[in-house]
């Protein structure tokens, strides 16, 4: 049979249809295999891990076929329990695939201590940012007579005076004693001579 007759024969068309059917079936099977291996369409919602301990995180994520990585601990935050999750990535509610790693940060066990800076003779506007930069908070402000208006004269913590270099816990409230700027300067070297009584001479008898 010549090539021309073969290409126009019924046998050729049947073989062509069979080859096309085999290709379709193989393509269908390949797509299903690809979907199975990549877990396409099967996503898990990331739970909220805030306030959970590391042990609780591990147990909860194991149930969801997820994993976690502990990045670091953060400065103590009083609104969270000690050693509990403070931050996580991805955030709660995010859709992820099975086996995805969730990155977490744990709360420290307590506030760390910091040294009291030298704020004496600094202005109020200078003192407050310095305190906040160290993780301290502004406490009660008290004014006393002094020439320096809003100048820091004393630093106090829970009623006791602080010295430069004393250590307190972060987030402590530092009370400041400021000058009111209303005191007047008195030159003590000037003496009112009229206030001095003259010496009395004894009477002649």
Q: Per residue in 111-163, pLDDT tens?
A: 888 999 999 999 999 999 999 999 999 999 999 999 999 999 999 999 999 99
Question: Reduced to 3 states, what is the DSSP secondary structure of residue 104?
Answer: strand
Question: Reduced to 3 states, what is the DSSP secondary structure of residue 204?
Answer: coil
Q: 73: which 2 tokens?
A: 């601990």
Are the C-beta atoms of 173 and 147 separated by less than 8 Å? no
Task: Report the alpha-carbon distance of residue 171 to residue 111 in Å, rounded.
Answer: 8
pLDDT above 60 (res 40)? no
pLDDT above 80 (res 19)? yes
DSSP assignment, residue 74? Answer: E
Task: Report the alpha-carbon distance of residue 71 to residue 165 in Å, rounded.
Answer: 32
49: exposed, middle or buried (C-beta count within 10 Å: 0-12, 13-18, 19+)? buried
Which residues are registered as beta bridge partners of 128? none
Which residues lie below 8 Å from residue 103, measured CB to CB, with a gap of 6+? 68, 69, 71, 88, 89
- pTM of the predicted protein model: 0.54
pLDDT, residue 162, reads: 95
Which residues lie below 8 Å from residue 9, measured CB to CB, with a gap of 6+? 1
pLDDT above 60 (res 10)? yes
Q: 116: which 2 tokens?
A: 């009291």
Which residues lie below 8 Å from residue 120, measured CB to CB, with a gap of 6+? 152, 153, 154, 155, 164
């Amino acid at each position: 049979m010549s090539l021309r007759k073969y290409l126009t024969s019924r046998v050729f068309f049947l073989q062509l249809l069979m080859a096309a059917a085999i290709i379709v079936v193989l393509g269908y099977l390949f797509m299903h295999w690809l979907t199975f291996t990549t877990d396409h369409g099967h996503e898990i919602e990331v739970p909220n891990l805030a306030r959970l301990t590391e042990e609780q995180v591990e147990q909860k994520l194991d149930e969801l076929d997820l994993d976690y990585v502990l990045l670091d601990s953060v400065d103590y935050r009083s609104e969270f329990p000690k050693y509990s999750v403070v931050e996580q990535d991805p955030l709660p509610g995010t859709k992820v695939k099975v086996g995805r790693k969730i990155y977490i940060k744990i709360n420290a066990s307590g506030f760390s201590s910091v040294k009291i800076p030298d704020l004496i003779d600094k202005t109020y506007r200078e003192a407050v940012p310095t305190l906040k930069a160290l993780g301290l908070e502004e406490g009660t402000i008290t004014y006393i007579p002094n020439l320096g208006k809003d100048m820091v004269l004393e630093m106090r913590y829970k009623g006791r005076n602080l010295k430069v270099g004393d250590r307190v816990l972060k987030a402590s409230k530092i009370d400041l004693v400021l000058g009111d700027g209303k005191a007047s300067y008195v030159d003590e070297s000037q003496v009112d001579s009229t206030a001095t009584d003259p010496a009395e001479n004894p009477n002649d008898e």
